Structure 1
Amino acid sequence: MPDVGPTTVLPRRPLTVGELLDSAVLLLRGQARLLVPLAVLLAVGEQLLLHPLRLLADARPPEWWPDLDRLGWAWLLLAVGAGTEALIIAVLGNPAARGAAAALLGRRSGPRELVRPDQARWGATLPAAAAVGLTVCLAGLAGPAWFVAYGLLGAVVPALVVDRVPAHRAPRRALALAVRAGGRAAGIRLLGYLGWWLIRLGIGVGAYHGLGLLGLFDLSAWALPVATATWVGVNALAYPALACLDAVLHLETRMRTEGLDIRLARAPAGAPEPALLAVPR
């Protein structure tokens, strides 16, 4: 059975918060050969995009803490950074969600399967990810509204590629799932982000200053490339991990609130996988 054994990526039952975090890590381990290289490319693009704003905000490495005398630019930098993070996580959510769906059905999907365009719906995913990033960016300009936007939009891409809903219904579907059970999914998504933010901050800043203590080169002269490379490396792990959390959280929420596990147990043998997980229209 696919839900037996301690190393199962996604058991067919509602999970605790700790089990969800474990499932996300297991999914990342299984899909790292695809998700991490893709995340590296996206993280490099993010650093290039943010660089001009960092100069305008006088944000210096490795923390990239801006000059508060340039509050306007600093605020814009934080909002754009939040938007790019949300966009990248949403893009990575496409292969992560398909990998999680395969794991729920008791099999492991390889990188070749996940890069094929069959059933991937990239044409709908990329605009949806851009819309998620823009929404989070605009919410970031409003300060605390960022928390609401980020928490509510985690299931947009999984709803597209797993639930097979039309693109215009995906945001509404994501919002509905996020607020069920007292907003449990939204809260867990924010918890996961906070945990990985602390890990990213600790590793990013610690690795930078650790290299300085080694005294191998003049760190002040290489501050920008060293900090950029450090943050790309950290984000290349954190972003896929958060995408995997979105994927397993989406399917777990469906099992918890829609009885997806019962539906799968009663499904006739030989039913096509997309039909097993798709939401009836």
Structure 2
Amino acid sequence: MPDAAPIAVLPLRPLTVGELIDSAVLLLRDHARVLVPVALVLAALEQLLLYPLRLVAGATPPAYLPTFDRLPAYWFLLAVGAACEGVIIALLGNLTARAAGTVLLDPGSPARGLLRPRGARLPVALLVALLAGAVMFVASLIMPLWVVGFALLGSVAPAIVLDRVGPFRALWRSATLALRTGGRAAAVRILGYLVWWLLRIGLAVGAVTGLHSAGLLAAEWHLPVGLAVWTLTNGVAYPALACIDAVVYLEARIRTEGLDIVIDRARRTGSAMLTPPAGRR
């Protein structure tokens, strides 16, 4: 069985949930020099965009909890924040999908030149990222639909890069993959988000509160330090989530479409084809 060892970044076989997380961590580790700096820039822009909305909503660092007299403004803030996360993860997913695709074709040769536009389909990638953000914004206005929207969008970037489909078909492709095998891919994406959400909350709140309790952080520094801490934590969390998306997408295709057979044949023959045409089983 090819790539059956647990240390492989992307083994060509169905994986357990734990192995999916391990593969995503390995993918992030191998490409952190590119993914984390890009994520930090995007996370900083997100914090700048959310800053005036937080002022209007009366949300203060580090936890940015709501105030009951400004709940409509806070709800709008949450929707914009969800949209920003959707856009950022989709943009980073363009990078992680290409990295994961290269690992599949040649496991001994990590992806290079992830920031080069060749093969990135940048206009389509940007459009699908904006579409993902729009879906998350609308879904977040109807709060329970946030979970549904986030769960179904994990494969939009991989579908653009590896399936070479258009933006609207990528949305449909992502939703159908997420719902296969009892919604397994959707559940793993939600699980990954919850884990990283708890880590982000713990780190951000713990850092600011701990420094303040120790007398090392004056009240007027809560805002800049809070912004910095959230930028740093998101700068790791967002590429980690994008790596989960790439791994889950490929594993779903291995599990349901026989992608492992196609890739193994491509490795042996030197074919440039990474994946079979989207939607074929």
Match of 1:227 in 2: 226
Question: What is the CA–CA distance in structure 2 between the aligned matches of 1:90 and 1:224, rounded to whole Å?
Answer: 28
Secondary structure at 1:162's aligned position in 2?
A: helix
Question: What is the CA–CA distance in structure 1 between the aligned matches of 2:100 and 2:22, rounded to whole Å?
Answer: 13
Unaligned runs of 5+ in 2: none
Deviates more, 1:199-208 or 1:112-121: 112-121
Match of 2:122 in 1: 122
- Identity among equivalent positions (%) equals 54
The offset of 1:209, in angstroms, is 1.3
Mapped contact 1:139–1:149 kept (Cα < 8 A): yes
Question: What is the CA–CA distance in structure 2 between the aligned matches of 1:193 and 1:167, rounded to whole Å?
Answer: 23
Question: What is the CA–CA distance in structure 1 between the aligned matches of 2:126 and 2:276, rounded to whole Å?
Answer: 20
Mapped contact 1:40–1:232 kept (Cα < 8 A): yes
Match of 1:262 in 2: 261
Mapped contact 1:99–1:108 kept (Cα < 8 A): no
Mapped contact 1:204–1:234 kept (Cα < 8 A): yes
Match of 1:83 in 2: 83
The offset of 1:2, in angstroms, is 6.3
Match of 1:241 in 2: 240
Write the mapping of 1:33-44 to structure 2, written as runs, cut at 5 A: 33-44=33-44
Write the mapping of 1:111-190 to structure 2, written as runs, cut at 5 A: 112-190=112-190
Mapped contact 1:178–1:186 kept (Cα < 8 A): yes
Match of 2:212 in 1: 212
The structure-2 alpha-carbon separation of the partners of 1:217 and 1:183, relative to structure 1 and needing over 3 Å to count, comes to closer
The offset of 1:165, in angstroms, is 1.7
Secondary structure at 2:66's aligned position in 1?
A: coil
Question: What is the CA–CA distance in structure 1 between the aligned matches of 2:203 and 2:9, rounded to whole Å?
Answer: 26
Question: What is the CA–CA distance in structure 1 between the aligned matches of 2:117 and 2:156, rounded to whole Å?
Answer: 19
Question: What is the CA–CA distance in structure 2 between the aligned matches of 1:183 and 1:84, rounded to whole Å?
Answer: 25
Match of 1:277 in 2: 275
The offset of 1:203, in angstroms, is 0.8
The offset of 1:175, in angstroms, is 1.0
Deviates more, 1:248-257 or 1:60-69: 60-69
Secondary structure at 1:222's aligned position in 2?
A: helix
Question: What is the CA–CA distance in structure 2 between the aligned matches of 1:119 and 1:131, rounded to whole Å?
Answer: 20
Match of 1:104 in 2: 104
Mapped contact 1:94–1:158 kept (Cα < 8 A): yes
Match of 2:202 in 1: 202
Question: What is the CA–CA distance in structure 2 between the aligned matches of 1:42 and 1:2, rounded to whole Å?
Answer: 37
The offset of 1:215, in angstroms, is 2.2
Question: What is the CA–CA distance in structure 1 between the aligned matches of 2:254 and 2:6, rounded to whole Å?
Answer: 19
The offset of 1:279, in angstroms, is 1.8
Question: What is the CA–CA distance in structure 1 between the aligned matches of 2:66 and 2:50, rounded to whole Å?
Answer: 12
Mapped contact 2:42–2:88 kept (Cα < 8 A): yes
TM-score, normalising length from structure 1? 0.94
Residues 128-158 of structure 1, C-alpha deviation per residue, up to 9 Å, x if partnerless? 0011011101100001000000000110110
The offset of 1:168, in angstroms, is 3.1
The structure-2 alpha-carbon separation of the partners of 1:217 and 1:280, relative to structure 1 and needing over 3 Å to count, comes to closer
Mapped contact 1:62–1:227 kept (Cα < 8 A): yes
Unaligned runs of 5+ in 1: none
The offset of 1:5, in angstroms, is 3.6
Q: Between Structure 1 and Structure 2, how many residues are aligned?
A: 277
Question: What is the CA–CA distance in structure 2 between the aligned matches of 1:232 and 1:29, rounded to whole Å?
Answer: 19
Would you identify which runs of 4 or more consecutive aligned residues in structure 1 move more than 4 Å?
Answer: none
Write the mapping of 1:12-91 to structure 2, written as runs, cut at 5 A: 12-91=12-91
